[in-house]
Amino acid sequence: MIFDTLAEVNCDEIFLQLHDFLPRSQCYVKLENLNLAGSVKLKAAVAMIDALEAEGRLVPGGEIVESSSGNLGVALAMVCAERGYKFTCVTDPNASPKNIAHMRAYGADIIVVEQFSNGGFVKERLKIVSALLAHNPAMIWTDQYSNKHNAQIHFQTTARSILKNIPDIDYLFLGLGSSGTFMGCAQYFAQHKPDVKIIAVDPDGSILFGPQTKPRYVPGIGGSVRPALLDPDMAFDSVTVTEADTLAMCHQQAKQRGWLIGGSTGTVLAGIQQYQAKIAAGSKVVMLAADYGGNYLETIYNDDWAGMVTAKSRESQQEKQPAQSPAGHIVV
């Protein structure tokens, strides 16, 4: 097979069956890292850039900015490098060092926001995006949090692929951040197979389906600001997972299955196990693995980092109020 562009190298039909993961049901994982950006976010990046080009808003030499904890930043950096656009990513200390290195290799500018507020890092990242746009009116914000193309591409591709390959699906477990994948898939199944139960998986400390913002360390899932795209009513149910359980699942899968997974995948797997008593026997359960764990060798698979986060996660469960993080600064 011959492709014309790097972004087209995107395998959308590969699933892994996790034998013995659920004792009474079958569990399938849609592998979304088998493209040259390494994550499901390549779909959103291409869709949003394509739309800007089609609208005539993005022309050769144009500049893009986005707020991202890592994977979308990498995908946008790759697409912008391929098409000749300048890209700036506003991120935070939770971003994987490897993902930041990838973005820099593509020529992206990186701004790391270190201040944690009541709106988490995302609120502070968005402040910087607003300041950049005010300073440079020619810069364009792709705005993954409200961009309809972020959801539409998953309606057109991701969800359609799931139903094509597993037509008798019963449950779909989805982690969410910007909520593009979640909304696109939920809307597709609402139209084409409404009996599928969509279960949202949220990390503890996220307000997407939780009550309050608390410091979190695993990137790529959850949020401290509810995205405009998100309609929580599209979920049949939700489950909240601690970061301690996420990390335990990641290490378990690496050591027992030889599968390096990212934090969002570990969170969803832990959520499925946590929810399994509610899953009818004989069901077919599907989830997405958004990226590859090799991006997190310095964090999730580093024993010191994982031990620190696990301890903080357990402490958080015992506290009535989340600890306040000290004010920080911006590093360019």
pLDDT above 80 (res 166): yes
pLDDT above 50 (res 259): yes
pLDDT above 50 (res 327): no
Query: Among candidates 128, 267, 286, which has minimal Cα distance to 205?
Result: 267
Phi first, then psi, for residue 17 (nearest 5°) are: -90, 125
Where residue 316 falls among pLDDT bands split at 50, 70, 90? confident
Where residue 119 falls among pLDDT bands split at 50, 70, 90? low
**Exposed/middle/buried for residue 34 (C-beta within 10 Å: 0-12, 13-18, 19+):** middle
pLDDT above 60 (res 328): no
Write down the architecture of domain 6-31+154-313 according to CATH: 3-Layer(aba) Sandwich (3.40)
The whole-number average pLDDT for the span 264-277 is 98
pLDDT above 70 (res 326): no
Write down the architecture of domain 41-141 according to CATH: 3-Layer(aba) Sandwich (3.40)
Extract the tokens encoding 59: 């022309």
pLDDT value at residue 331: 34
**Exposed/middle/buried for residue 305 (C-beta within 10 Å: 0-12, 13-18, 19+):** middle
pLDDT above 50 (res 85): yes
The ranges of the chain annotated as CATH 3.40.50.1100 are 6-31+154-313, 41-141
pLDDT above 90 (res 324): no
CA angle 166, 168, 170 (to 5 degrees): 105
- Write the CB contacts of 182 (distance below 8 Å, at least 6 apart in sequence): 174, 175, 176, 198, 200, 230, 234, 235
The whole-number average pLDDT for the span 44-59 is 97
CB 23 within 8 A of CB 94: no
State how far the Cα of 210 lies from the Cα of 60, in Å rounded to an integer. Answer: 42
CB 92 within 8 A of CB 114: yes
Output the average pLDDT for the chain: 93
pLDDT value at residue 116: 74
pLDDT value at residue 10: 82
State how far the Cα of 23 lies from the Cα of 13, in Å rounded to an integer. Answer: 25
pLDDT value at residue 317: 83
pLDDT value at residue 213: 86
CB 196 within 8 A of CB 169: yes
pLDDT value at residue 197: 98
pLDDT value at residue 321: 47
Locus of tokens 């903080």: 312
Q: Give tens-digit pLDDT for 128-165.
A: 999 999 999 999 999 999 999 999 999 999 999 999 99
Residue 87 three-state SS: strand
